[in-house]
Structure 1
C-alpha cells in the first residue's frame, strides 16, 4: 500500500514482487498468524522478522510444520528483555512490579526458545551476538550486520551550514540528550537543534534546558519523517551522539547508532560517546571525536574542538564519508541477500 511505499522510499527502495510485508500485529494474534501461514500454498519463503515482533511470531508458530525449503530468520537489534532502566516510580504498586518481572522472565524464556530454533540469526553488533550466545544455545548460522545509511553527495561548505550542534533520534534517557543539554551550558553562544521525540519527552527535556539556562539556545523540532532528516544533517556543523553508560545495556553494548552512519555518509563531523557500539563505526581522532560518556564537560570540549577547528572537522568528515561506503543500505542489502541465499537447501 501507500504507507509501505513511503516507508521503502525513506530508504531509497521500491516495492519488489518477491518481497512481501505481513502486518502481523495489526489487531491479530497467534491463531491468525498460523492461519496466514497455512494460506501460503506452494510458498517456501525465507521469513524474516525482528525484535519483540520476531520473538512473538516465531514462538507462536514454533509447532507449525515448516514447508520444504522454508527458513525462519531472526534479526536482533537488542536483547528484547534488556530494556532501558526506568526511573523509580513511587506510584507503581508492588503487584505491578511483580507482573513486570514476570513478563520480563516470560519474554526472556521466549527469546531463548526462538534463538535456539531459528534457521538464521542476524545481529547489528558483535556485542549483541555475544549476548545472544550467552543467553541461548545458538546453533544457526549467524551474521553481524550493522545498520546502514543512504549515500551522500559532496559535503556542504561551512558557509551553508547554519546549525551549530545537531541531535537526531529517540529521546530516551539512555540516548543522553540530557547530557548534551548540560554540555550546551558550557558552550555559550552555540545553539542545539534536536530532531525527534514525542511531546512528553520534549517537555521534560525543555524543562531540563530551562534549569540549565539554555532554553533559548535549544530548538526542539519534534518528530519529522525520515526523508526529511537528511536536510537537517547536511546543515549541521557538528552531529552529536551522546550515548550514556549505565542507563541500559543496549546503549553500552548492543546498539548500532544509525544517526552516526547518517552523519558519516553526509560528511557531517561527529562527536560521540566512547562506547563499544560507537567504536565499531568511528575511529577516535581519525573519523570522529570520541569523548567520555555521561560527562557534559568532556562532551562540551569535544564539540568545541570541532566547532573551533574547522580544518580538523573537515578532515574527520572526509575520512568518515569514505568509511561510510562500507555501510550503505545497498551494501547491507547485498550482504543480507548473500546470507539468506546461503540458508537455502540448494546452497547446503
Structure 2
C-alpha cells in the first residue's frame, strides 16, 4: 500500500545542519520505498539556489517532490507565513498522512477540524521546554526562555502527545519522560536516527603508527564538548587531533582555536571547518579514533541522538563517547565503544589512552560498532516509519 506523505519542516533548504540532513534522509528513504513524499520547506537563502539532491549526495526519485515556499523577512514573519503555507497544503493538497518534527506546526494543524485534515504523525527529538530552559548552556549567546514561553511550549507538547494520530521519539529516554509527564500512549514508538551505508563497505581492522589521529565531527556549540576534548589533548602528547565542523569566522570556532593556542596544543590540532555532507564518511575514514565528547547538560543526557554517532558506527573506528542516558541506548562500554564520564577532560584522556594503548580492544569495539551500524540504515528506519504511517492511514 503506497502512502502519500506530506512532510513539513520550517527550515531553509537545503540546510547543512543535522535537522536538514535528517529530514532529507528520512524523506528520501521513504520515497525510495515507493511512497509519494512531498517535502514542504522554505526556499534556499544561498544564491544561486542550490540543488538539494546534489547538496546531500542523493539521487533523484520520481516519488520525492521538494515543495519550497519562497519567503523573505524577519523570523517572525517567515514563521507566520510558513504556518499559513502548512495550513494551505494540509487542506488543499491531498495527502494520506502528515509527518513532521516541528512542534509548532503539529500543534497548529491539530487545531484544524479532523474531517478536513489528514492524520498527523509527530516525530519528537526532545522536550521543547527543557531545550528552551537550557538554551544559554546549549548555544553561545543563547537566552533562557521566559516562564511564559516555557508554559506555552509545555502546553504544545502535551497537546501533540495526546492528540496526534501517531507519535515517534528518537530515544527511549524521551518516550519514558513523555509518558511520565502526560500519560501512556500505547501507539508511541521509538525509532533512533540513522546513517547512510554504502553497498560495498568492508571492515578494516585499526592500526596506527607513532601519532594516532583522534577526530571529532559535528557542530562546535559548547554542549558538544569540543572544549573538553581540547583540554584532554593536553594529556595526549602523541595524539594528533582533527576537528571537523564550524564556519570560518564563527564565534565557537574562533573560541576553540584560541583555546587550543592558549593550551599550547595549536600545532597538534587541525580545524578543518565545515565539509559537505557527502564527504563526511570519507573524512571519518582518515581517523584512528572517533570522539563524541558531549557534555552533561539536561537535554543532552536525555535526548541526544546525534547523526554523527551513527556515522561513527558506520566508519568502523573505535569510538570514545560520553556516558549519557541516551547514548547508552546505542553504545555499551567495552562492547562497541569506550564510555567516559561527561564533561571530564581527564576521563576523556584516559578513555582515548585506553583505546590507543590496547589494539585488541580497539579492534573489538570497532568491528562491533561497524556491524551494529547495519541496524541503523536509513532504509531500515524508513521501513519502521512505514509500518506506523500505514497503521495511522488504516485507522483514519
| Residue 121 (structure 1) shift | 0.8
| Residue 44 (structure 1) shift | 3.6
Residue 127 of structure 2 corresponds to: 79
Residue 176 of structure 2 corresponds to: 130
Residues 121, 14 of structure 1: alpha-carbon distance in 2 compared, 3 angstrom cutoff: farther
Query: Aligned pair 1:257/2:306, yes or no?
Result: yes
Residue 32 of structure 1 corresponds to: 85
1:156–1:234 contact (8 Å) kept in structure 2: no
Distance 2:208 2:264 in 1: 28
| Residue 59 (structure 1) shift | 2.1
| Residue 151 (structure 1) shift | 2.0
Query: Aligned pair 1:222/2:273, yes or no?
Result: yes
Partner SS, residue 130 of structure 2: coil
Partner SS, residue 282 of structure 1: coil
| Residue 321 (structure 1) shift | 1.1
Residue 107 of structure 1 corresponds to: 153
Distance 1:108 1:24 in 2: 28
Q: Find 1:328's aligned residue among 377, 380, 384.
A: 377
| Residue 261 (structure 1) shift | 1.5
Q: Find 1:143's aligned residue among 170, 181, 189.
A: 189
Residues 156, 189 of structure 1: alpha-carbon distance in 2 compared, 3 angstrom cutoff: same
Residue 317 of structure 1 corresponds to: 366
Distance 1:164 1:201 in 2: 22
Aligned residues: 332
Residue 63 of structure 1 corresponds to: 111
Identify the range of structure 1 (158-167 vs 135-144) with the bigger mean alpha-carbon deviation: 158-167
2:232–2:348 contact (8 Å) kept in structure 1: yes
| Residue 141 (structure 1) shift | 1.8
* Structure 1, unaligned runs of 5 or more: none
Residue 234 of structure 1 corresponds to: 285
CA deviation vs aligned residue, 1:294-343 (integer Å, no higher than 9, x gap): 11111111111212322321111111111221111111111111121111
CA deviation vs aligned residue, 1:39-68 (integer Å, no higher than 9, x gap): 21xx24211010xxx221122222322357
Residue 335 of structure 2 corresponds to: 286
Residue 26 of structure 2 corresponds to: none
Distance 2:50 2:346 in 1: 46
Partner SS, residue 246 of structure 2: coil
Residues 104, 160 of structure 1: alpha-carbon distance in 2 compared, 3 angstrom cutoff: same
Partner SS, residue 146 of structure 2: helix
| Residue 182 (structure 1) shift | 0.5
Distance 1:31 1:336 in 2: 27
Q: What is the RMSD computed on CA atoms of the aligned residues?
A: 2.9
| Residue 237 (structure 1) shift | 0.2
Residues 57, 163 of structure 1: alpha-carbon distance in 2 compared, 3 angstrom cutoff: farther
For normalisation by structure 1, the TM-score amounts to 0.85
Residue 259 of structure 2 corresponds to: 208
Residues 159, 298 of structure 1: alpha-carbon distance in 2 compared, 3 angstrom cutoff: closer
Identify the range of structure 1 (208-217 vs 295-304) with the bigger mean alpha-carbon deviation: 208-217
2:96–2:393 contact (8 Å) kept in structure 1: no
